[in-house]
Amino acid sequence: MEDIKNLFKKTIIVTIVCFLLGLVFQNKYLLFGISGGCAISVIALYMLSVDTKAIIYSKDIKTAKRIAYIGYAKRYFLHFIFLAVLLYFFKDFKIFLSGFIGTLNVKLTIYTMNALERIKKYLK
């Protein structure tokens, strides 16, 4: 549970840093694409944690499967809507790609946390 809280903190920090850097440098790719994708990624992580709690406390396996499938569809529908909105309003494929990279925020943060942990073990 502590690892999940740590992951939430780090992904929110990355999102805020990307947003602030986008504001400072007036870069639309960083401001709308990456920071928006990071925000969507954090929302999807929260939705995943809520769905996981609901699955754990459900008594019926059929209900748990339904919660899992619907939650999965909702999260990826959220990603799809975000990327479609970016492409529709900006009509720029570069901002679409930066938004896609932003949606990988949680995955990249998990990978980085794991890599840093292994480096710390190796240095000891």
* pLDDT tens figures, 24-44: 999 999 999 999 999 999 999
Q: Which residue has the tokens 């492409």?
A: 87
State the pTM of this model: 0.89
CA atoms of 110 and 107, how far apart (whole Å): 5
Residue 1 pLDDT: 74
Token digits of residue 38: 């990071």
Region 42-65: what's the mean pLDDT? 94
Task: Report pLDDT for 3.
Answer: 85
**89-106 pLDDT, tens per residue?**
999 999 999 999 999 999
